[in-house]
Amino acid sequence: MTIKIKNICCIGAGYVGGPTMAVIAKHCKDIQVNVVDINKKRINDWNSNNLDKLPIYEPGLAEIIIKTRGNNLHFSNLVQENIASADMIFISVNTPTKKSGFGAGKASDLKWIDLCAREISKYACGHTIVVEKSTLPIKTADTIKQILGSSKKTPAGELKTFSVLSNPEFLSEGTAINDLENPDRILIGGEEKESIDTLISIYKNWVPEEKILTTNIWSSELSKLISNAFLAQRISSINSISALCEKTGANIKEVSLAIGGDKRIGKKFLNTGPGFGGSCFKKDILNLIYICNHYGLPEVSNYWSKVIDINQWQTKRISRLVVEKLFGTLTSKRIGILGFSYKANTNDTRESPAINICKDLLEEGAILQIYDPKVSFEQVEYELENCVELDSKKNISKFNWIYSETMEKASEGCDALIILTEWDEFSKIDWGLISDKMRSPAWIFDTRLISNSKEATNYGLNVWNVGIGD
Ligand code: NAD
Ligand code: UGA
């Protein structure tokens, strides 16, 4: 038995809510999908006729938005109204690390989840299936159930009931649409069979049934955290070995290939880099650490904390190395930063390793010329300066960085270029052209191993590659 779903409401129009609901709307034409958010600008941007203004850059997203928006996909700030008319509500709000109070710096801040549950409890009508889409600490479903249970009837006296499911999202930014269209698996945790089957019936519109995994609710909540922890652990493992390769003459690309050839290890997620970024890996591992301590498992929490330690160390050692190679001083030296997003094909800069590397270099007195194909000047400014006032028209901050519109501009007069994001265009750099613009002796630091170092060397540039050296 399944329940007929006519109206879905998704609370949170962010990197998960927007793309996920767009794909559901695409495949479930008989369902009205309403994505709501308290952030007015974000909703205006989702509704913009200029698709370049969508709040999220994600390959393939705009094409789906054109086909669905205004038909069965709607973006608005009408949170209460859309909760009231929904048969199923996805909670896709942010769950960042707490900044203050108990558990600050580790536990997830659940204030937005709490608020959503209260709004749902107050405004929902009839029977509503509430789906946890956000990444949450294990046992959050209990909290949500308790809050939902605080209101039993609508003002008109109609009985309200709820069923809570966990359905974590595994998409990666930059490949979100493909991940949503062809997921490795869909995970649904819950207790009531009817609600689980109803959610399965939605996914079955495009996902093969054998990919839909059902578990108890706690396994589902925990598996999302553990999935991210395992992925991040692989990156810290390979990054730790990148440093050993640089010391010994081994080549990290060859080592990755050699170990990844073992099917038990696998090829994916073995790319060394400047450290993992993004809004989730660090926060989810911090949360895991917090949970392990809470349950009296300090050995387990210590184990996972090393994944974060190595990540911070990797980023810092790259900053230090740049200073060393440039004769120990960056004062008044120009450095071009190629890439500011935390990975390619996204405009997201949350926890990007570029932020800390840029800050380190600015502190050393460098003048930075920052270029990223999709990250705006305002976003770089926000990350580096926490929104101090500056003359945005000139693209010049009162600090020592300049926003460059092109890669060529970013390299003008530079003593060094640092590739920090693996944007495809950085794999095709014309080193002849770029070397003419730089000041000699010039350095290229490739933290993503995507540039043609041989060609750069042929044009007289010094090249340092992560996991290989110079
Ligand atoms: P986000 O910050 O991009 O979006 C969250 C949105 O929720 C914001 O626009 C915010 O204004 C809105 N919001 C917060 N409280 C609200 C309320 N009470 N009512 C209405 N709107 C409200 O976050 P995100 O990146 O989409 O992540 C959302 C969740 O999904 C997090 O738990 C995250 O860990 C998880 N997740 C993220 C990704 C990813 O790639 N970004 C992938 C998988 C899972
Ligand atoms: C990650 C997970 O891959 C998703 O499954 C998960 O849903 C999501 O977090 C989440 O919960 O938010 P995302 O952060 O978007 O997705 O992107 P990843 O491709 O995982 O990259 C994360 C960081 O690791 C990036 O900075 C990337 O450059 C880095 N990375 C990735 C490496 O340094 N090496 C690799 O081999 C892979």
- pLDDT confidence bin for 305, thresholds 50/70/90: very high
Residue 152: the pLDDT is 82
The best mutation among 35, 37, 91 to test binding of ligand 1, ranked by most ligand atoms within 8 Å of the C-beta, falls on 37
172 CA from centroid of ligand 2 (Å): 6
**Per-residue pLDDT tens for 330-383?**
998 999 999 999 999 999 999 999 999 999 999 999 999 999 999 999 999 999
User: d(Cα 176, Cα 324) in Å, to the nearest integer?
Assistant: 38
Q: Among the options 9, 28, 245, 280, which is catalytic?
A: 280
Instruction: Identify the residue whose C-alpha is closest to ligand 1 atom 29.
Output: 134
DSSP for 190-223, written as a single string: -S-HHHHHHHHHHHTTTS-GGGEEEE-HHHHHHH
Q: Indicate if 224 belongs to the active site.
A: yes
Closest ligand 2 atom, residue 353 Cα: 26
pLDDT at residue 158 greater than cutoff 90: no
Instruction: Identify the residue whose C-alpha is closest to ligand 1 atom 14.
Output: 93
Residue keyed to tokens 């059902």: 214
11 CA from centroid of ligand 1 (Å): 9
CB atoms closer than 10 angstroms to residue 227? 17
Phi-psi region of 252 (alpha: psi -120 to 50; beta: other; left: phi over 0): alpha
75 CA from centroid of ligand 2 (Å): 27
Q: Ligand nearest 266 Cα, by number?
A: 2
- Is there an atom of ligand 1 within 6 Å of 37 CB? yes
397 CA from centroid of ligand 1 (Å): 30
Instruction: Identify the residue whose C-alpha is closest to ligand 1 atom 38.
Output: 16
pLDDT at residue 138 greater than cutoff 50: yes
- Is there an atom of ligand 2 within 6 Å of 135 CB? yes
239 CA from centroid of ligand 2 (Å): 14
**Per-residue pLDDT tens for 173-212?**
999 999 999 999 999 999 999 999 999 999 999 999 999 9
Residue 452 tokens read as: 């043609």
The best mutation among 235, 283, 352, 426 to test binding of ligand 2, ranked by most ligand atoms within 8 Å of the C-beta, falls on 235
Rg of the chain taking only CA atoms, in angstroms: 24
The best mutation among 132, 281, 282 to test binding of ligand 2, ranked by most ligand atoms within 8 Å of the C-beta, falls on 281
Q: Ligand nearest 342 Cα, by number?
A: 2
- Is there an atom of ligand 1 within 6 Å of 79 CB? yes
Would you call 377 helix, strand, or coil by DSSP? Answer: helix
- Walk across the sheet containing 32-36 and list its strands: 73-76, 32-36, 7-11, 88-91, 127-132, 161-166, 186-189, 212-215
Of the chain, the percentage scoring pLDDT greater than 70 comes to 97
Residue 255 tokens read as: 């080592």
Pairing state of beta strands 462-465 and 443-446? parallel
Q: Is 30 exposed, middle or buried (0-12, 13-18, 19+ CB in 10 A)?
A: exposed
Q: Indicate if 211 belongs to the active site.
A: no
**Per-residue pLDDT tens for 391-429?**
455 555 557 899 999 999 999 999 999 999 999 999 999
Task: Report the mean per-residue pLDDT for the chain.
Answer: 95
- Is there an atom of ligand 1 within 6 Å of 15 CB? yes
- Is there an atom of ligand 1 within 6 Å of 171 CB? yes
DSSP for 94-105, written as a single string: ---B--SSTTTT
From the list 166, 165, 162, 76, the residue with the least C-alpha distance to 121 is: 162
Q: Indicate if 280 belongs to the active site.
A: yes
- Is there an atom of ligand 1 within 6 Å of 106 CB? no
DSSP for 281-330, written as a single string: HHHHHHHHHHHHHHTT-HHHHHHHHHHHHHHHHHHHHHHHHHHHHTTT--
This model's pTM is above 0.85: yes
Listed in order, strand segments (DSSP E) in 327-366 are 334-338
Residue 394: the pLDDT is 52
Alpha carbon distances (Å) from 152 to 61, 89, 146, 221: 39, 17, 12, 26
- Is there an atom of ligand 2 within 6 Å of 228 CB? yes
Instruction: Identify the residue whose C-alpha is closest to ligand 2 atom 30.
Output: 276
Q: For 102-126, what is the mean pLDDT?
A: 96
Q: Ligand nearest 270 Cα, by number?
A: 2
Q: Among the options 169, 246, 364, 422, which is catalytic?
A: 169
Please report, as a single letter, which amino acid is at residue 153: K
